[in-house]
Structure 1
């Protein structure tokens, strides 16, 4: 447990340190209590007629950390919302965190009160992995954020860019279909591991969009080795995803940052060095292509020609962001959708009949999506029930504000629990059930992207929402159109998630039967 390790490290540091270490620690804790007392008084003085923010009871000094030890805080937050309401505060060591668990309050935070809480609060690991907020998703809302978001929308993710990159998505769908048909032909009784195929194809698409080319292997000078495509994927996607949810206990106790935690620091720094070395090698390779006169419509070419104010490292980070984000969240949604359909033959058949009535004997394409309301419902219900990003990176309140009718003092942190919003029993009937029909009641336009809070909202709405919908919906439709899906025996029980994420802990395995 991260907290247990933290306490052991703290005890060891004090046992091995001098009396000065003990004094400094005690002074730090005293300062923390004094600040907490001052903040409490400030809250009382400024709340006026606003009710006090509900607080989840916790322990002295460590606050509610012990209650979050299972590393699925989004689920714990949702349980607390049933007791304390949709807005409440917790203590994570020295930090006060205001947790939001309902659509209305989250929309208020993302839109109405955005100017007061637009600053990001990152953990030590995320600061290193994002080059101190040098990404669209994690940067503060400032001129840098506006510029790089405009760049990525112009080049890759905006509507016009999506039209230009249509061929990449079509190839992804065709490759996936061909692989599955070959698998069924050669091993008809063997379960297929869908994630392996989808993951590889999404990574290939991400490389094309970012760098203009799928790279099968590359020599990395900074590491002195040649890496295969699978090894590149591990360095650029799998390892950073694991690192992003790693915990440095000092994030919870800023006044004790002087205590070393070298094991954690070395692990994250090594992860960053490997990633940077691979990105340098990939960019160097594509610069050779550019020097030869070959032009490609990709993010790297655009940044090198248009984004003259960006540093070399900033460009590397922005390219890496495209690669990791395009390779991950769309996979989560598509895999869970196929899992739910594979265990529910009636709903799978309903979707197949809808596709058949619209497309006939023709293969489903993106042009058909607006005519397929049930497919849209399957996509949005999967986003709601298996939210790809259950917790938004913490935001920092830099000026006094209010949310949900409560006074929120400057210095607080805001945790937006998207999972909690999508499991709110006041908004969703039987929210734990996967029920696409809930989106067919006429409440929403069929092509409305933001039926749930999965893509966020306001000025920081997810830039990749359109691409995610196009890829996932077309893939789901095509897979159901061409195959009957049935879960491998025992697979229905594999519903656990991977730690902080909603990644399926056990990759889905299904038996496929080609349709006539």
Structure 2
């Protein structure tokens, strides 16, 4: 085939390809009379130019104002239906799940996830069900959460100790929360996944010894940035034979480094397991007798457990502390609530069900600062209906979670951060589903319980120990970056330990 292509003049090949693409797009654009409203676009490229800003979810909201909560767009040769309301999102994720259960990944994500080998990005089927059982058994299920309790307690203790080391007398002292919390979360991820913390490691395949900061770069920062790399062939799959070498090299380099590091970490821990050493961790579950995972799948799953513990929980916790430092009345209310429930004792996980305002702070932060503003696209593999409109097989579905959480029909004054809106006394699980930050239906995120435990315990303890006040000018630092809603600039706040007569034991 390569020889045949080389013997065809480039001009003729380009012309044939052009007409094939035009013909395919023309066929795809034939619309059912009951199709969702279509946002007008340009020939060939569709609505791509309209999505050139860094926050496409805001563009989706603008289009919803003109075309309604459900509409279709074209990104190159792909047809997509965008959902901008909670009602429509739940219809797609729950009642029409059987028709919309597969993932649509970009070329970059396909490479970084080892062709959908991780739980979050795999298609719903036997493999998904199997690896979800593994992650529940090894990390996220009730029994696993109990096993890892001491790791979470140590993490919070270390963050508090670090902040106390910065304080001088009773004056407010400027700190950044992200660095110590991010470092401790990363350690927690290693302990849960591999059974131990890793300060540094020599990776033979790379020929270097990596520090913890370099490991974080390889396992978390680089993949998150790589996930948003744009490959124009994603929008024109009929031209996938055309090389995009610079982008391919960049993503493949990220994947090679990530794979080499995780493989090395796994091999080190496997040695301990084969020696009969008792290691209670996710890896132990993945390599137990009877498991049929390939080496590539094993590497992908261990990496997933590390990155997912290290990223979105950090985002939610940092935004929650930002809002509490910005809103002193809310911070004081939370502090008084903690004192009422915990008295002179440190807050514990057993206290969380009784701390309604802390739960409200958590859920309102999920709503207002959605960690993932756009749910990863789903693919319609059999024709269905959404919102009363016909949606043909082959269509991609985009759920604009940001629009759902800012919908004036569902939320009073959605542009304000108001934890009180979650003090309705409803069931905790109902509240967790209300913002859909953890998805819905059969593919609901398995990590919701751990995320709430870590974030609520950290926020509660930080408010219990310190008074927080934003640095001057920090109120406007709300820009975000990366695939998730990561705060662009780390939170900077002045902290002061609580007065001695009301302060709790430090450690």
Q: Which residue of 1 aligns with 2:241?
A: 258
The CA distance in 1 between the partners of 2:110 and 2:70, in whole Å, is 27
Quick one: structure 1 residues 72 and 26, their matched pair in 2 at CA, closer, same or farther if it must change by over 3 Å?
farther
The CA distance in 2 between the partners of 1:18 and 1:100, in whole Å, is 46
The CA distance in 2 between the partners of 1:133 and 1:307, in whole Å, is 22
Q: Does 1:433 align with 2:416?
A: yes
Quick one: structure 1 residues 446 and 454, their matched pair in 2 at CA, closer, same or farther if it must change by over 3 Å?
closer
Q: Does 1:181 align with 2:164?
A: yes
Query: Equivalent of 2:370, from 387, 390, 406?
Result: 387
The CA distance in 2 between the partners of 1:397 and 1:507, in whole Å, is 39
The CA distance in 2 between the partners of 1:59 and 1:18, in whole Å, is 34
Q: Which residue of 2 aligns with 1:419?
A: 402
Deviation at 1:122, TM superposition (A): 0.6
Q: Which residue of 1 aligns with 2:16?
A: 27
- Which deviates further from its counterpart, 393-402 or 378-387? 393-402
The CA distance in 1 between the partners of 2:347 and 2:171, in whole Å, is 24
- Which deviates further from its counterpart, 488-497 or 25-34? 25-34
Deviation at 1:287, TM superposition (A): 1.7
The CA distance in 2 between the partners of 1:415 and 1:20, in whole Å, is 40
Q: Does 1:59 align with 2:42?
A: yes
Deviation at 1:28, TM superposition (A): 3.3
Query: Equivalent of 1:207, from 190, 203, 213?
Result: 190
The CA distance in 1 between the partners of 2:18 and 2:408, in whole Å, is 40
| SS of aligned partner of 1:332 | helix
Quick one: structure 1 residues 54 and 512, their matched pair in 2 at CA, closer, same or farther if it must change by over 3 Å?
same
Unaligned runs of 5+ in 2: 1-5, 500-507
2:312–2:484: 8 Å Cα contact kept in structure 1? no
1:444–1:451: 8 Å Cα contact kept in structure 2? no
Query: Equivalent of 1:216, from 199, 205, 212?
Result: 199
Which digits, 9 at most, give the CA deviation of each residue in 1:8-32, with x for residues without a partner?
xxxxxxxxx9984344344334333
Q: Which residue of 1 aligns with 2:504?
A: none
TM-score (norm 1): 0.92
Q: Which residue of 2 aligns with 1:273?
A: 256
Query: Equivalent of 1:105, from 88, 93, 100?
Result: 88
2:224–2:482: 8 Å Cα contact kept in structure 1? no
The CA distance in 2 between the partners of 1:344 and 1:376, in whole Å, is 16
Deviation at 1:279, TM superposition (A): 0.7
Unaligned runs of 5+ in 1: 1-16
- Which deviates further from its counterpart, 242-251 or 307-316? 307-316
Q: Does 1:194 align with 2:183?
A: no
Q: Which residue of 2 aligns with 1:10?
A: none
The CA distance in 1 between the partners of 2:207 and 2:280, in whole Å, is 30
The CA distance in 2 between the partners of 1:444 and 1:102, in whole Å, is 22
Q: Which residue of 1 aligns with 2:437?
A: 454
The CA distance in 1 between the partners of 2:237 and 2:13, in whole Å, is 13
Q: How does 1:278-289 map to 2 (within 5 A)?
A: 278-289=261-272
The CA distance in 2 between the partners of 1:61 and 1:345, in whole Å, is 52
Q: Which residue of 2 aligns with 1:13?
A: none
Query: Equivalent of 1:130, from 103, 113, 124?
Result: 113
The CA distance in 1 between the partners of 2:483 and 2:264, in whole Å, is 31
Deviation at 1:161, TM superposition (A): 1.4
Deviation at 1:39, TM superposition (A): 3.5
Which digits, 9 at most, give the CA deviation of each residue in 1:351-384, with x for residues without a partner?
1111111111111111111111111100000000
Q: Does 1:38 align with 2:27?
A: yes
Deviation at 1:304, TM superposition (A): 1.1
TM-score (norm 2): 0.94
Quick one: structure 1 residues 499 and 84, their matched pair in 2 at CA, closer, same or farther if it must change by over 3 Å?
farther
Q: Does 1:234 align with 2:217?
A: yes
Query: Equivalent of 1:344, from 305, 324, 327?
Result: 327
Deviation at 1:290, TM superposition (A): 1.7
Deviation at 1:206, TM superposition (A): 0.5
The CA distance in 2 between the partners of 1:187 and 1:134, in whole Å, is 51
Which digits, 9 at most, give the CA deviation of each residue in 1:263-299, with x for residues without a partner?
0000001111111110111112112222332111101
Q: Does 1:442 align with 2:442?
A: no
Deviation at 1:437, TM superposition (A): 0.8
The CA distance in 2 between the partners of 1:20 and 1:400, in whole Å, is 40
Q: Which residue of 2 aligns with 1:504?
A: 487
1:376–1:446: 8 Å Cα contact kept in structure 2? no
Quick one: structure 1 residues 394 and 306, their matched pair in 2 at CA, closer, same or farther if it must change by over 3 Å?
farther
Deviation at 1:500, TM superposition (A): 4.1
Which digits, 9 at most, give the CA deviation of each residue in 1:202-250, with x for residues without a partner?
1111101110000001100000010111111111111111101111111
Deviation at 1:111, TM superposition (A): 1.1
Deviation at 1:513, TM superposition (A): 0.5
Q: Which residue of 2 aligns with 1:163?
A: 146
Deviation at 1:188, TM superposition (A): 5.4
Q: Which residue of 1 aligns with 2:360?
A: 377
